Structure 1
Amino acid sequence: MALATLDVVVLDCPDPRALAEFYAGALGGTIEDQGEWVDLKLPGGAQLAFQEAPGFVAPEWPRADRNNQQFHLDLKVEDLDTAEKGVLALGAKPLDAEDRTRTFRVYADPAGHPFCLCVC
């Protein structure tokens, strides 16, 4: 028997509204802004939230000398090229997207959190 159920994934960031708008542009959904905390209600019932974090330091994408990724989101897409154009237009930055033969590409959101676009 489970002790709990997952309610929401919360991302710390310097500007909760801006990051919610980025993910709303990528995933759809409805933004509910409460200032230092912003909810993004996604189609299908899932939810992301964004919390203002003074002094926020973005995670670093893993390198040979350190692995400070912390966590990442996998976003399922139908077409990598189309989704890539969309997230770049929303403000994402490529982290590991050069290998065009893989079924995923890695980006950073505007606050620096890594995420992958994945064709599954």
Structure 2
Amino acid sequence: MALAALGVVVLDCPDPGALAGFYAEVLGGSVEGEGDWVDLKVPGGQSLAFQAAPGHVAPAWPASGHSQQFHLDLTVDDLDEAERGVLALGAKPLDTDDRSRGWRVYADPAGHPFCLCRC
């Protein structure tokens, strides 16, 4: 028997509303709240929350001396199309060496790594 249930995944960032808006464009859903804590209600999925973190330092990827801390794997049908979309929204590619794999790594506008994965 589980001791707890997962409530929400929270991402620290400098601007919760802006980062929630980025992920709302990527995943769909509705942004709720404002200020230091903003929620993204994703249809049929786990909600994400965004918390203001003054002095936020983005994780380094890849770097043996710095952990990426966490990342999101987002499944897509078409990697090229999804890539064009996330780049237009402000994501930055982190790994462009091997385009033949079924996944690609990016940083969101606050620097958190995430992957687009072909389903």
- TM-score relative to the length of structure 2: 0.96
In structure 2, give the amino acid aligned to 1:95.
Answer: L
| Alignment match, 2:50 | 50
Question: Is the CA contact 2:17–2:34 (under 8 Å) kept in the aligned structure 1?
Answer: no
Q: Which runs of 5+ in 1 are unaligned?
A: none
Q: Which runs of 5+ in 2 are unaligned?
A: none
Cα 1:105–1:45 change in 2 (3 A) is closer
- TM-score relative to the length of structure 1: 0.95
Question: Is the CA contact 1:97–1:107 (under 8 Å) kept in the aligned structure 2?
Answer: no
Between the aligned residues of both structures, percent identity stands at 73
SS of structure 2 residue aligned to 1:51:
strand
Aligned length: 119
Q: List, as ranges, runs of 4+ consecutive aligned residues in structure 1 with deviation greater than 4 Å.
A: none
Alignment of 1:3-82 (within 5 A): 3-63=3-63, 65-82=64-81
SS of structure 1 residue aligned to 2:23:
helix
CA positional deviation for 1:34: 3.0
CA positional deviation for 1:45: 4.1
Instruction: Please provide the CA RMSD for this pair.
Output: 1.0
